[in-house]
Amino acid sequence: MAQDNLSEALKKLKLASADSATDSVESCLDCLLKALAHNNANASEKVQEMGVLSLLPTLLAPQSSCTPKVANIIAEVAKNEFMRSPCVEAGLIPPLVQLLHSKDQEVLLQTGRALGNICYDSQSSKEQFASTNIAEELVRLFQKQAEHEKKEMIFEVLAPLAENDVIKLQLVEAGLVECLLDVVTHTVNGERDEDVAQLKTASDLMVLLLLGDESMQKLFDAGKGSVFERVLSWVPSHNHQLQLAGALAIANFARNDGNCIQMVESGIVQKLLELLDRHVEEGNVTVQHAALSALRNLAIPVVNKAKMLSAGVSDTVLKFLPSEMPPVQFKLLGTLRMLIDTQADAADQLGTNSKLVERLVEWCEAKDHAGVMGESNRLLSALIRHSKSKDVVKTVIQGAGVKHLVVMAMSEHMIMQNEALVALGLIAGLDLVGAEKDFVGAGLVQVLHKLLSDERTAPEIKYNSMILICAVMGSEPLHKEVQGLAFIDVVSKLRSHENKTVSHQASLTEQRLTAQS
């Protein structure tokens, strides 16, 4: 259909809607729908240019016969990102929300599509929605629905809306959670495709609601919340989708220390370990990943670490060492690193596990997976830092891990540089003879020279680099390298560093270098 026909139709629509001449309005709407079907983006631009959107609120009257067509037109134009804000500005949201009360199936369907498309991926429209009572309306509508299609349509509007934290809380307060729990109860043993689809949508939406801090805390309700209890019961379920949602929900509840401490006391760790055990052999990767995420978060508060270690968390987690899935590897590493933080015995036990250390060294070379590479370096360093054990150092030297810690000292993340230097200092202090060859091979002295000469290096990195220089002076070949690089010049400059700890260490290091030159 030619563009000029469309312009004609839109001009007519403006006149007709002013006179409320229904027949001619209908034919103009049909013409517009045809144009949208033919070329949505062009027709939408035209609608925008001619200021047609502002006519539509009046045409959305509940009793008007052209309402479903108008809602359909809005749904079609809102498929274009550039049309979403204009739809909000034209005041289309309140009349559309009102239409959710309609008994007419076609009106409900098109209204749902229109609302869903307007708020899809658009921050500004979600903020507009937060100031309407759409949350209550949608929940009330949902409670009344028996048919699968209707529920799905409401879900499609709810999912994008629930990304907004204000709306999350409104939905929780309007009772959406109870609706979702009911859906789960009714569909969990269902064989039909629509049951499976509804179960997935409902449990995903439940997890989404838990991403908001306020809505999550409200549902946790000091660990006594009935919702919290129900969601926990999903973990031992036989349904993978529910196991997944249950584990993700726990990971989301575990976003602050208070919740984590309470959850570990409630015996949740055992449930997660049993779940992981069921997924070692024919494992579902998303469930593994979610359960490990939950354990990692639960292990953050210091009081939980020993309890989780004695519950056997590290043994279960180690069963996933053979996994070839980077997301699982990443969470496995993070969980172990959280668990051994400040726990010397556990660090000692894991750090002398040569299978683990070999796998870490392998992952330190995972160039395609920066996350896994970074986490394995950090765990390698943590095993040494928290155990301060000669046996762990020997295991890392035998497993060829030293060179990775030297590379890590050059990381762009200061926290990782620091962790590497402290671990290297412990290696030098506990087994310099054993590490000497690796230190030379990895160019440790050159790395330290670079760190000390670079103005951008943070004070604590400079401090730890000087400590390390002093520590390696006891080795003949390393001492020679230090002399060869004129360290004294670099170090004496640092005596006037503005950071007192750095300048003091520079004086000590200078004395040591001078005495041994």
pLDDT digit string, tens, across residues 26-44: 888 888 888 888 888 888 8
User: Distances in Å between the alpha carbon of 295 and those of 248, 264, 278, 308, 386?
Assistant: 10, 10, 16, 9, 20
pLDDT band at 1 (very low <50, low <70, confident <90, very high): very low
The 10 Å Cβ neighbour count of residue 168 is: 25
**CA Rg value for the chain:** 32
Check residue 108 and give its pLDDT.
83
pLDDT higher at 86 or 439: 439
Rounded to whole angstroms, how far apart are CA atoms 112 and 105? Answer: 11
146: Cβ contacts below 8 Å, ≥ 6 apart: none
**Residue 212 per-residue DSSP state:** S
pLDDT tens column, 465-491: 999 999 999 999 999 999 999 899 999
Instruction: Find which of 185-189, 462-466, 511-515 is predicted with most confidence, using mean pLDDT.
Output: 462-466
Cα 317 from Cα 260, distance rounded (Å): 19
Question: 510 versus 38: which is more confidently predicted?
Answer: 510
According to the model, what pLDDT value does residue 387 have? 98
Burial readout 112-139 (b: 16 or more C-beta within 10 A, e: otherwise): bbbbbbbbbebeebbebbbebebbbbbb
pLDDT 10s digits, 313-364: 999 999 999 999 999 999 999 999 999 999 999 999 999 999 999 999 999 9
Q: What are the tens digits of pLDDT across the range 132-145?
A: 788 888 898 888 87
Asked whether 443 and 400 are in contact (CB, 8 A), the reply is no
- Residues 475/440, Cβ–Cβ less than 8 Å: no
How many Cβ atoms are within 10 Å of 245's Cβ, its own excluded? 28
**From 2-11, 195-204, 233-242, 430-439, the region with the lowest mean pLDDT:** 2-11
pLDDT class for 156, splitting at 50, 70, 90?
Answer: confident
**pLDDT given for residue 106 in this prediction:** 84
CA–CA gap between residue 27 and residue 151 (Å, rounded): 32
Question: Does the pLDDT of residue 19 top 70, yes or no?
Answer: no
Work out the mean pLDDT of the chain and round it to a whole number: 90
The pLDDT, as a whole number, for residue 348 is: 98
The residue that leads in pLDDT, 31 or 177, is 177
Q: How far apart are CA 305 and CA 72, in angstroms?
A: 56
pTM of the full structure: 0.84
